[in-house]
Amino acid sequence: MLFKKMQEKREAEIRRQKKDTLKKVGAAFIIGSVISSVATLFTAPKSGKEMRQDVAEKVGEGAELVKDGATKVVKKTGDVLHEAVNKGQELKDKVINKVQNKPEIEKIAAEAIASAEEKIEAVSEALEEKIES
């Protein structure tokens, strides 16, 4: 029994050491990759001016991709909000049809739907402003 516990402790220590070793190797690999990339970038047979121009072009391309993605998100969000407003209008019409004989309920429902539509519009406009800026 004592021997078994000692053996388990030893195995646990070996597993811990293996995990530590793997973490160190992984970190070294990542650091080495970054250093290698930077060294390759700056030892390329281009002048500093050409290198800066290439880097600026790549940054510009990346910015354009981000802008395109943001535009798509704005459009998709606008479409979803428009669809939500349409669904709300349809729901409003259904509720009004069902409660035509009860003007109090109709008034409360109409006010709630109008309030919801205003809030959706405000959120849509705020989202578009944030993305455009």
The reply to whether 58 and 119 lie within a common domain is yes
The reply to whether 67 and 132 lie within a common domain is yes
Q: Does pLDDT of 126 surpass 80?
A: no
Give the pLDDT band of residue 103 (cuts 50, 70, 90): low
Main-chain phi, psi angles of 130, to 5 degrees: -65, -40
The reply to whether 17 and 60 lie within a common domain is no
Give the pLDDT band of residue 73 (cuts 50, 70, 90): confident
Its pTM stands at 0.36
The reply to whether 12 and 72 lie within a common domain is no
The reply to whether 22 and 51 lie within a common domain is no
Give the pLDDT band of residue 1 (cuts 50, 70, 90): low
CB neighbour list of residue 73: distance below 8 Å, 6 or more residues apart: 131
Structural contact between residues 124 and 85, judged by C-beta atoms closer than 8 angstroms: no
pLDDT, position 40: 76
The reply to whether 21 and 60 lie within a common domain is no
Residue 71: which domain range?
47-133
Structural contact between residues 86 and 100, judged by C-beta atoms closer than 8 angstroms: no
Average confidence score pLDDT of the chain:
79
The reply to whether 98 and 110 lie within a common domain is yes
